[in-house]
Amino acid sequence: MPQPLADVLAEVRTLLLDPALTRAVAAGRRRGQTPSVTRAELRPVALKGGPKLQIVTDDGARPFTRNVTFGDEAAAAVDELLAEPFGNWHVETSSATVQVRITKKGDAQVHRSAAVTTGDLAHDRTKQWLLDPGDPLFSVIGGNAAKRRQVDAFLRALAATLPEELPTPLRVVDLGCGNAYLTFAAYRYLAGRGAKVEVVGVDVREDQRVRNTAVAADLGCADDVTFVAGTIEDASLPFTPDLVLALHACDTATDQALARAVRWEADWVLAAPCCHHDIAAQLKGSPAPAPFGELTRHAIMRERFADVLTDSLRASLLRLHGYRVEVVEFIDSAHTPRNLLLRARRTDAAPTPAQREEYETLTGQWSVTPALEKLLS
């Protein structure tokens, strides 16, 4: 629930001036306002002359560092920063993490959690997370441990799919982006690797387009991350993407995304399928080939088998269209049962006769025609 901004900033002020502070970051901007610096980072440092509060501000061109003495000097510097119209504050102390996002109405959305790490925070962070837990993105999407883990697992899969040297510009589309937190995570991670990244998120819901566009402005990346309200099948994009994401797009929306990726000749595709109904319905309507009747006799078994068959056939079809495909666990199944990820890289290798035959035998024996096959034919 939003809280009065003044009260929350008073709490942030106390934390920033407390010796238990580990690190704090201010970034983004409030609606219609622009801070004099794009980002400010504060941390206590031990210098020869005694403990100081280090403040690093960035004007977009270069960082500027100063070390101020705790007491009046630090209080004045902190007050100056709190008066800036930043859109987010992320404050870590030895015992807690407080994230603040200033809403369009000028209130504060606050998320408080236990400290994310102990010990050498900077070292732990580099070791554990691909996207800094202090990234302003987490102030926007909420930074609880489960969400950080999901973002991190997704970014690790992305990193494992892409080459060491990224093309620049790297053009990305996220089909069925929803509230786009993985879209933004991909952008911030890839841009952090030094590539010029352009991202378009597509979702059929106009309200998501409006909301996500506002988030992009808050995060200061509205020029690079844009949103389109339209369908996966035919939304028009400002570019042909190199990388296609389709994460938890429902049922055959995943097939539509894969079909578009193939037609665009996208170099990389990451798809985490969601619910599977298409093949399950086809299995229900026709007898299983001998001796596999037991696999589809009971509804729960039929559904699970249909999930596996659907994604196997998707992988197979992508291979027939010149992709090298891996199917991996997306994130820990304790987090969500929708935890499978199809990871594909275009090689343009021609399919072998054995691969074709395997696909045709499998679909023929089970009397199924996958949605993706129809879309690609």
Ligand X SMILES: C[S@@+](CC[C@H](N)C(=O)[O-])C[C@H]1O[C@@H](n2cnc3c(N)ncnc32)[C@H](O)[C@@H]1O
Where do contacts with ligand X occur on this chain (CB under 6 A)?
176-178, 182, 202-205, 208, 231-232, 247-250, 253, 256, 274
**With respect to ligand X, which residue has the nearer C-beta, 256 or 296?**
256
Q: Closer CB to ligand X, residue 92 or residue 203?
A: 203
Find out whether the peptide bond into 291 is cis, omega within 30 degrees of 0.
Answer: yes
Q: Which is nearer to ligand X, 197 or 259 (CB)?
A: 259
Identity of the residue, 83 or 250, whose beta carbon is nearer to ligand X in the bound complex: 250
Interacting residues of 60 by C-beta distance below 8 A, sequence separation 6+: 37, 38
Least distance (Å) between residue 1 CB and ligand X: 23
Q: How far apart are CA 219 and CA 215, in angstroms?
A: 6
Long-range contact pairs involving 355-362 (C-beta distance under 8 Å, separation at least 24): 355/316, 355/319, 355/320, 356/320, 358/316, 359/313, 359/316, 359/317, 359/320, 362/309, 362/312, 362/313, 362/316
Compute the CA torsion angle 79, 85, 87, 90 (nearest 10 deg): -10
Nearer of residues 16 and 270 to ligand X, judged by Cβ = 270
Phi-psi category of 298—alpha, beta or left, where left has phi over 0 and alpha has psi -120 to 50?
Answer: beta
CB-CB contact of 88 with 28 (8 Å):
yes
Q: How far is the CB of 145 from ligand X (least distance, A)?
A: 17
Please tell me whether residue 332 adopts helix, strand or coil conformation: coil
Closest CA to 220 of 8, 35, 23, 5: 35
Give CA–CA dist 183/341, Å, rounded: 16
Tell me the closest approach of the beta carbon of residue 274 to ligand X, in angstroms.
6
User: Under DSSP, is residue 150 helix (H, G, I), strand (E, B) or coil?
Assistant: helix
- CB of residue 40 vs ligand X: minimum separation in angstroms? 30
Find the shortest distance in angstroms from Cβ 351 to ligand X: 28
Q: Read out DSSP for 249-273?
A: --TTHHHHHHHHHHHHT-SEEEEE-
Give least dist CB 375 to ligand X, A. 12
Q: Which is nearer to ligand X, 111 or 248 (CB)?
A: 248
d(CA 212, CA 179): 7
In the numeric block, which tokens belong to residue 294? 């037991």
Output 92 or 307, the one with its CB closest to ligand X: 307
238 preceded by a cis bond (ω within 30 of 0)? no
* Cβ-proximal residue to ligand X, closest one: 178
Residue number with CB closer to ligand X (178 or 322) = 178
CB of 304 to ligand X, least distance (A): 20
Q: Are 208 and 179 in contact (CB under 8 A)?
A: yes
Using CA atoms, how far apart are residues 244 and 251, in angstroms rounded to an integer? Answer: 17
State the minimum distance, in angstroms, from the CB of residue 330 to ligand X: 10
CB of 324 to ligand X, least distance (A): 24
Which CB sits closer to ligand X, 159 or 301?
159
